[in-house]
Amino acid sequence: MLHILVPCHTAIKVCLNNKKLAVLTSMSTHTIEQLEIGDKLTNQQLCDIFGCSPQGGMRKSNSTNTLVLVSNHIESIYEDRWDNDVLHYTGMGTTGHQSLNFAQNKTLHQSNSNGVGLHLFEVFKDKQYTYAGQVILCSEPYTEIQPDREGQERTVYVFPLTLKSSRRYITAEDRQHTYQVKENKAKKLNDQEIALRVEHSTRKPSKTRVKTNVYERNVWVAEFAKRLAKGNCQLCLQPAPFNDKKGTAYLETHHIIWLSQGGEDTPENTVALCPNCHRKMHIVDDNRDIELLTQRAKHQIETFFNQEKAQ
């Protein structure tokens, strides 16, 4: 089983960003031009750099002639969605029908001719603004029916935006965090509220490129662990629940100490598990199970090499 894990990389990235944030805090002359894609700002830093108000999803600044667009993935009632490199961005106005002539909807609608620079920030974590880069309105805004704050159906304007110079990606950590926040929110809604959101969801899933580090696992170690297991899960000790298409007992290999936490890709740290127990290790990761698996891996390796010697 392929493990897509990020923490090592993420830790470095977070450090770099913290360093950068620290630098940004001490520099009062930081400008828009110095911003880099992926920079994470506080609301105060964002306002200082752009000269805009600290509130709202669309923030116009006359001093820098910019319109800051915030796509908040955790708090917003809107469902901004990405379709490859196009962001379908919902306009301004939280209750009632939206209008193209209203405030910043008008600025955004005319952005190809009014000279106002559009800068996009995405929020994946509370109070943290991730710079996505400059965007342009790539086609005419269109209308859609969406529920407003009170759950009333109303017409909204959706603005298709594309990034000017780069492709969009999010880090695996940001993506995971956003999902967790939404998951917690979903659990608190009543049945009607959930049904309303389901009804208004698009059938087309949002598509996103995720920047992630993938651990290349040693195939010999994995195969060795499976052979030692002899078709039985090393946690529940039951036979594999099914055979694959080639008739081989299906087990998945797992690192007792996860590679992302510094575990080694060695036989001593690798076991073969049934899919159920494998999931359990990733969800619960109980210390007693870890101990049990460590002992069993060790014992099986010793038995294997003793038999080798005897032959």
Question: Are residues 171 and 130 in contact, defined by beta-carbon separation less than 8 angstroms?
Answer: no
Q: Is 251 in the site for Zn ion (CB under 5 A)?
A: no
Q: Which of residues 162 and 232 has its CB atom nearest to Zn ion in the complex?
A: 232
Report how far residue 93's alpha carbon sits from residue 246's, in angstroms, rounded to the nearest whole number: 58
Q: Which of residues 46 and 274 has its CB atom nearest to Zn ion in the complex?
A: 274
Q: Is 235 in the site for Zn ion (CB under 5 A)?
A: yes
Instruction: Specify the stretch interacting with Zn ion by CB under 5 A; choose among 41-49, 67-75, 133-141, 266-274.
Output: 266-274
Question: Are residues 242 and 203 in contact, defined by beta-carbon separation less than 8 angstroms?
Answer: no
Q: Is 274 in the site for Zn ion (CB under 5 A)?
A: yes
Of 222, 254, 256, 297, the one binding Zn ion (CB under 5 A) is: 254
> CB within 8 A of 51, min separation 6: which ones?
61, 62, 63, 64
* E runs forming strands in 5-141: 40-41, 58-61, 66-72, 81-83, 86-90, 117-125, 128-137
Q: Which of residues 87 and 235 has its CB atom nearest to Zn ion in the complex?
A: 235
Q: Which of residues 108 and 277 has its CB atom nearest to Zn ion in the complex?
A: 277
Of 123, 222, 233, 297, the one binding Zn ion (CB under 5 A) is: 233
CA angle 271, 277, 282 (to 5 degrees): 85
Q: Which of residues 68 and 293 has its CB atom nearest to Zn ion in the complex?
A: 293
Both ends of the chain: CA-CA distance in Å? Answer: 33
Q: Minimum Å distance from CB 271 to Zn ion?
A: 9
Instruction: Specify the stretch interacting with Zn ion by CB under 5 A; choose among 42-50, 51-59, 269-277, 302-310.
Output: 269-277
Q: How many residues bind Zn ion (CB under 5 A)?
A: 6
Instruction: Specify the stretch interacting with Zn ion by CB under 5 A; choose among 119-127, 179-187, 250-258, 301-309.
Output: 250-258
Q: Which of residues 125 and 296 has its CB atom nearest to Zn ion in the complex?
A: 296
Q: Is 277 in the site for Zn ion (CB under 5 A)?
A: yes
Of 4, 236, 257, 290, the one binding Zn ion (CB under 5 A) is: 236
Pairing of strands 153-163, 66-72: unpaired
Question: Are residues 134 and 113 in contact, defined by beta-carbon separation less than 8 angstroms?
Answer: no
DSSP helix/strand/coil, 47: helix
Report how far residue 86's alpha carbon sits from residue 284's, in angstroms, rounded to the nearest whole number: 38
* Residues that bind Zn ion in the complex, under the rule CB under 5 A: 233, 235-236, 254, 274, 277
